[in-house]
Structure 1
Amino acid sequence: MVSLRFSIGQTVTPPNTIEIVPYQSKYAREVSELFHICVHNIKHERYPPPLLDAWSQAPRSAKHWHLRLSRSQAWIILVTDATSFTKICVGFINVETDFHHRGDIDSLYIHPDWQRQGLGELAYCHLESWARLQGYSSLSVDASYLSKGLFTKMGFTQVQRSYQQKLGQVLPSFYMIKKC
């Protein structure tokens, strides 16, 4: 264990470091597993088990995620463990770039063990900064019940309710927009 000594008898473990890096194919398997873990760790009355199973029956192939993230602008959130110095993929975010001067946020997932620590906000701020540099006039998202609060906090406004049908289940969401 790496420790720093500040005064007699006091030891402090250095904090984990957080990086947001552009997506690379080497992260595809981790993203696939992370997505599935995130979905199946949802504990919310609006997301019963059959709905979670429709959302993610099993981890999708690395190829699926690589193709999906390669067609967009995507970033991976890495945490370097302070004791082992290993980098762990704890989240990802991506924005579809096929729309003229408007980006549609496709995914934002943070591992359950790392949620509520500001990583979603950090990832979003990174994406928004990139979008402004690209000259995007607005960003949109279909936010879940779980992410709606984050996007509201970040300045998004709900336009309408939206729904996606998958394997006989209806996944509700909120279509939201923010001007850049």
Structure 2
Amino acid sequence: MKIRKFQDSDITQIFTLFYETVHSVNKQDYSQEQLDAWAPHEKKPIRVQTWSDSLRHNITYVVEINDIIVGFADLTPDGHLDRLYVHKDFQGQGIASTLVNKLESEATDLGLVEINTDASITARPFFERNGYRVLHSQTVERNGVNLINFKMIKLLVN
């Protein structure tokens, strides 16, 4: 397992990983309509460009195994953990923890005192095990469909 910074050439693999992960891992907690709204296939070209721009601006890491991206995560400069996705075939292998630990270390180096995230129903237990606490549940709208997630926060020790 190798962790490294995001490169522009990673975007196609990252977006495919995102789409496949949402539609397989999150199906236990969200309806097909919600999954399609969250990760719509027909808007891919527009989203790829938007994501590429934000991943380049944020602190973004990928994890590779045998030169294949199996996970990625990004943190905004103000401490919002925006995206954290692990390939459906590599769940439970410590990849998400590796990525979160790296981002938390970067945040501490930047002098941030906390990280917040909007965790899916599926991701909530992972974040709780890693020291995040729920501030509140929230309903977000994606492409006209409501989804439930959780605003969570972790205080960093400097």
SS across alignment from 2:44: coil
Whole-Å separation in 1 of the counterparts to 2:28 and 2:65: 30
Q: What are the superposed Cα offsets for residues 38-66 of structure 1, whole Å, 9 maximum, x if unpaired?
A: 11113544311010000111172332321
Match of 2:52 in 1: 66
User: Structure 1 pair 152/27, CA: closer, same or farther in 2 (3 Å)?
Assistant: same
User: Aligned AA for 2:154?
Assistant: K
Instruction: Name whichever structure is richer in helix by fraction.
Output: 2
Whole-Å separation in 1 of the counterparts to 2:76 and 2:104: 13
Whole-Å separation in 2 of the counterparts to 1:168 and 1:126: 34
Whole-Å separation in 2 of the counterparts to 1:46 and 1:116: 17
Q: Is the 8 A contact 1:31 1:65 kept in 2?
A: no
Q: How does 1:39-50 map to 2 (within 5 A)?
A: 39-42=22-25, 44-50=27-33
Match of 2:63 in 1: 77
Whole-Å separation in 2 of the counterparts to 1:146 and 1:118: 16
Match of 1:125 in 2: 101
Match of 2:131 in 1: 155
Match of 1:37 in 2: 20
Structure 2 length normalisation: TM-score?
0.91
Q: How does 1:16-27 map to 2 (within 5 A)?
A: 18-27=1-10
Match of 1:84 in 2: none
Q: Is the 8 A contact 2:132 2:152 kept in 1?
A: yes
Whole-Å separation in 2 of the counterparts to 1:171 and 1:93: 21
Whole-Å separation in 1 of the counterparts to 2:137 and 2:53: 28
- Shift in Å at residue 68 of structure 1? 2.0
Structure 1 length normalisation: TM-score?
0.81
Q: 1:95 aligned to 2:75?
A: yes
Whole-Å separation in 2 of the counterparts to 1:133 and 1:43: 32
Q: What are the superposed Cα offsets for residues 127-172 of structure 1, whole Å, 9 maximum, x if unpaired?
A: 1111111111100011111111111111111111122101221111
Match of 1:55 in 2: 38
User: Aligned AA for 2:3?
Assistant: I
Name the % identity. Answer: 27
Instruction: Name whichever structure is richer in strand by fraction.
Output: 1
Whole-Å separation in 1 of the counterparts to 2:155 and 2:122: 22
Q: Is the 8 A contact 2:27 2:35 kept in 1?
A: no
Q: Work out which structure has the larger RCO, using CA pairs closer than 8 Å and 6 or more positions apart in sequence.
A: 2
Give the total of aligned pairs: 153
User: Structure 1 pair 143/57, CA: closer, same or farther in 2 (3 Å)?
Assistant: same
User: Aligned AA for 1:72?
Assistant: N
